[in-house]
Amino acid sequence: MTSIQQTIDQLQLLRSELSHRIEAIETDVHHREEPVEKDFAEQVTQRENDDVLSAIDEEAQQTVFLIDAALARIEDGSYGRCASCGEKIPAARLAALPYATTCVSCAE
């Protein structure tokens, strides 16, 4: 069984890792403001890479938001309860996805 402090530590570590990833992606995207390649194929490749980086950045930012919400639920005592039905979220689900807001039934 995972203690609340272990969960907090896990969430904070994940948040830190994602924040570093977001920072690296944003640094990479900003360096792309350099002049575009003259080669059309290279321009297409750069555009595709930018699209992938943007999608990864968006997902990381959403996960950070969910982590912050989970930390707030820990603080207010509602962590581990399904936001939809109010039942307890199984420990296995929280171990796999510590920022889960719903039980498996409600998530489906």
Question: Residue 96 falls within a domain, yes or no?
Answer: no
Question: Residue 25 falls within a domain, yes or no?
Answer: yes
- Over the Cα atoms of the chain, what is R_g? 19
Count of domains forming the chain: 1
DSSP-assigned beta bridge partners for residue 88: 81
Instruction: Give pLDDT, residue 101.
Output: 96
Q: 1 pLDDT exceeds 60?
A: no
Instruction: Give pLDDT, residue 34.
Output: 60
Residue 36 lies in domain: 4-79
Provide the percentage of residues in the chain whose pLDDT is more than 70: 89
Question: Residue 46 falls within a domain, yes or no?
Answer: yes
Question: Residue 37 falls within a domain, yes or no?
Answer: yes
Give the residue carrying structure tokens 């207010």: 76
Question: CA-CA distance, 50 to 76, in Å (whole number)?
Answer: 39
Question: Residue 73 falls within a domain, yes or no?
Answer: yes
Question: Residue 108 falls within a domain, yes or no?
Answer: no
Helix 4-31 / helix 40-76 crossing angle, nearest 10 deg: 160
- The per-residue pLDDT for range 36-54, each reduced to its tens digit, is 667 777 777 777 877 888 8
Question: Residue 99 falls within a domain, yes or no?
Answer: no
Question: CA-CA distance, 27 to 17, in Å (whole number)?
Answer: 15
DSSP-assigned beta bridge partners for residue 81: 88
